[in-house]
Structure 1
Amino acid sequence: MKGYIDKMASLGKPVYITEYDIGLGDDNQQKRVMEEQFTMFWNHPSVPGITLWGYIVGATWRDNTGLQHPDGRLRPAMQWLMDFLDRG
């Protein structure tokens, strides 16, 4: 994925990550992908913004993309993200 972002960035425009979600039902896999991808997005000099999409479990059109259960419990990927952003 970094290669694609680098290629778009080579055009001299900012690259915004929008409608970002991870459709994995396995909590550990979702967390691993979040750690890898979000860290890369966050640290890329051409990415000024990242927008999560549909973070409540069961409230989107795609299965397994939620990061927070309707009762407020966080999936591990969201807990990692909150810690990463110093909001945990």
Structure 2
Amino acid sequence: MIKEPQYKHLYVLSESKKVTIMAMNYNKLWKLLIDRGLIKKDLREMAGLSTNVIAKMGKNGDVSTEVLRKICKALDCGLDDIVEIVPDEDSES
């Protein structure tokens, strides 16, 4: 079994050569679930995800693009409906 690499942050280099470290935020996903009357268990079953993946997302941890694709397919929505990429407050340099 081939394991996908796990990435902790997204790095953005601007013209000023300042590196901004970006993090994932899933607040849009949790709000979407509430708006649709769903809970995390429903999402897990609909998208075929493990409890570990849901727990990781609950802590705004990084997940694979395959996980995000499954969620978008299960909820019939776009990526921008479930995730936001924000500056990581702890790691700006």
Instruction: Calculate the TM-score normalised by the size of structure 1.
Output: 0.26
Higher strand residue share: 2
Structure having the higher Rg: 2
Instruction: Calculate the TM-score normalised by the size of structure 2.
Output: 0.25
